[in-house]
Structure formats: structure tokens, C-alpha cells
Amino acid sequence: MEEQLPDLHSHFCDLNLEAHMYASQWFLTLFTAKFPLCMVFHIIDLLLCEGLNIIFHVALALLKTSKEDLLQADFEGALKFFRVQLPKRYRAEENARRLMEQACNIKVPTKKLKKYEKEYQTMRESQLQQEDPMDRYKRENRRLQEASMRLEQENDDLAHELVTSKIALRNDLDQAEDKADVLNKELLLTKQRLVETEEEKRKQEEETAQLKEVFRKQLEKAEYEIKKTTAIIAEYKQICSQLSTRLEKQQAASKEELEVVKGKMMACKHCSDIFSKEGALKLAATSREDQGIETDDEKDSLKKQLREMELELAQTKLQLVEAKCKIQELEHQRGALMNEIQAAKNSWFSKTLNSIKTATGTQPLQPAPVTQPPKEST
């Protein structure tokens, strides 16, 4: 400052304003105590890029930009200016940027800083040598006592922290042991539930096998009845066809015999004289009536047999339809039972897996109620 700002340095000397009164806070806090963050960010960037010497550059730049105001201020005014007015000036980012440009343009040689450091160390040594040994020993003793008190306080704090840590660790260990006991109990309970669930699963599988066997037998029985009914219907159809053919043949034979008898009667003279035209008609009518009565009786008998066979056929068809309906109902019941069994299995598996996952987790488990899968009676 004496080299680059001699007039301001002489003014501060006249005011007895030393550098540590205003600049110590800059160096200790890297200008973060009073100045805005936009300016502090620039200073830290330059510090990381250029090194510690940038702090001297920024300090000299601040003094240069404020030289006119500081030359006109007295001791109190200068301190107030450093404390209040100077930080407000750089709240605008443009002012902070110009200050950084000016700081970068200031030349502070490293060799000169090393020279000033050596001179300061020599001056401090000479001051210490000129000082009274008794005062120096008293100051050293006071410093050692303060260090001893500080170390004792640190020792007490460490001892307190150690005891607290031991107590906390003991509590944590007790809680961990309690938690382990709870988890072991939950694990045993889960294993027991798993065994019970496996037993229930085995029973469900046995019941399912029994249901399948019952359904299979019912299905085989229904198929056998269908085959038997189909064979009976085919036989009835064949019998009806044979009876129809037989009836037609008998009617044809009767007509042929009637024609033969009529021809013979007409060929006989005596018979033709006996049977006059009217009488022949009467006899013919009478014979026809008798023959018709016999034929009607035979037809009635055949029709009766045919109706009986048709009735039996209708009853057989009805039984066939009933058997088909029963088979469809059994198939529907079988599908519903299989769906219920599959849903019960899925529910049981999901609950078992959830119980196992919960038992192996880090949090204590709450015993879950064992849900029995639904049973279907056969």
C-alpha cells in the first residue's frame, strides 16, 4: 500500500488507522462477511485459478476505487465507510465485474511478497528479543495454561462423548437382540404356518384328485349311456323299417289273392249264375268287408305296435336329451370347481410368499391370520 497508494497510506498514518482494523476481516473470511455473493463468487474463482496472491490484488483494488472518499474521511468516518458504504457499492454485478478487472490489472510480484514476509519475521524476532524475558515467560505460561485448559476441556468432552457412545451402543445392542428374538419367533411361526399350509395343500390336492376321478367316472357312465341309447334308437329304426316293409308286402299279397279268387269265381259258370250282378256285388261287397275287417285288424295291430315303438323312441330321445343335459351340468360343475380350486391355490401361494418375505425383512413382523383356502365338498 505504501508503494502503490502512498498518499492514502500517509493519510491512514496521520489518522493512526492501521491495516488490521479494516483488512483483517477481508483476509480471514475471503471477503464473505460483508460483500455480496456475486462479488464473492468472482473472488473465489480467481483464488482457485491464480492462488492466494489474488487476495492482495482485490484489497488494493478496493482501496484504489475508494481512495477519494477515504482521503476526505476521518478515523470514525473511514471505519464506517469500510463497514457500511463499501459493501453497498458492489451490490450491482457490473460494479463487481469492473472491480475484478481492476484487481487483475494490479501487479503484486511474488518476490516482493516473500521479501515483505522475511522483513516481518525479522521485525517480530527483534521485538521478541527486546521484550523483557519475564513478560515473555508470563505470556508463554499464559498461553500454555490456556492450551492446557483447552485440552482438558476437549478431554472431558471426549470422555463424555465416549460414555454417551457406549450407552447408545448398549441400547442399540439391546434393541438389536430384542429385534432378533422377535424375528426368530416370527420365523418359527412362519415355518409352522408353512408346514400347516403344505399339509392343507396336500389335502386339497387329494380332494382335487378325488373330484377328478368322480367326474371321470360320471363322464364315462354318461358316454356309455349315450352309446347304449344310440344303439337302441338304431335298432328301433331298423325294426320300424322292417315292419313297414312287411306290411307293404302283406297288402300286395292280399290284393293278389283277392284278384285270383275273383277270377276263379267269374270263370265258374255255376258260380257266375249263382252270383247275379247284384248278388255278386253283395257277395263281393261282403267278402270285401270281411277281408277289409281282417286287413283293418291287422293294420290296427301294426299301427298299435308302431305307436308303441314311436312312444319308446320318444322316451329314448327324452332320456338321451336328459343325459346330455346332465353331462353339460356335470361339465359346468367340474369347470366351476376347478376354477375355485385354482383361485384357492393362488390365494394360498400369494399369502404364503408374502408371509415368508415379511418374515425375512428388516422390520418386525405382525402375526398375520392364517386364511384357510375354501373347500368344496364332493
Set of cell numbers at residue 362: 428388516
Amino acid (one-letter) located at 166? K
Name the average pLDDT for the chain. Answer: 82
Q: What is residue 138's predicted lDDT score, i.e. its pLDDT?
A: 83
Range of the domain at 32: 4-129
User: Per-residue pLDDT tens for 203-231?
Assistant: 999 999 999 999 999 899 888 989 888 88
Does some domain include residue 232? no
Domain count, the chain: 1
pLDDT at 124: 82
Evaluate whether 277 touches 266 at the Cβ level (below 8 Å). no
**In a domain? residue 324:** no
171: left (phi over 0), alpha (psi -120 to 50) or beta: alpha
User: In this structure, is residue 283 part of a structural domain?
Assistant: no
User: Which pLDDT belongs to residue 351?
Assistant: 73
pLDDT above 70 covers a percentage of the chain that reads: 87
- Within 10 Å of residue 177's Cβ, how many Cβ atoms? 10
pLDDT value at residue 289: 57
Q: Which three cell numbers stand for residue 62?
A: 478496493
pLDDT mean for each 10 residues of the chain (378 residues): 89 89 89 89 91 90 91 90 89 89 86 87 81 77 88 91 93 94 94 93 92 90 88 84 84 82 73 54 50 70 80 81 81 82 75 72 45 40
Quote the pLDDT of residue 146: 87
Assigned domain for 340 exists: no
Rounded to whole angstroms, how far apart are CA atoms 209 and 216? 10
Confirm whether 9 is domain-assigned: yes
pTM, entire model: 0.37
What's 29's domain CATH number? 1.10.472.80
Distance of CA 11 to the CA centre of its chain: 76
pLDDT for res 10? 92
C-alpha 111/C-alpha 178 separation (Å) is: 69
- Cα atoms in the Cβ-side hemisphere of radius 13 Å centred on 301: 7
Q: How many helices (H) and strands (E) does the chain have?
A: 12, 0
**Coarse DSSP helix, strand, coil percentages of the chain, rounded to the nearest 5 percent:** 85, 0, 15
Residue 222 inside a domain? The answer is no
In this prediction, residue 322 carries a pLDDT of: 81
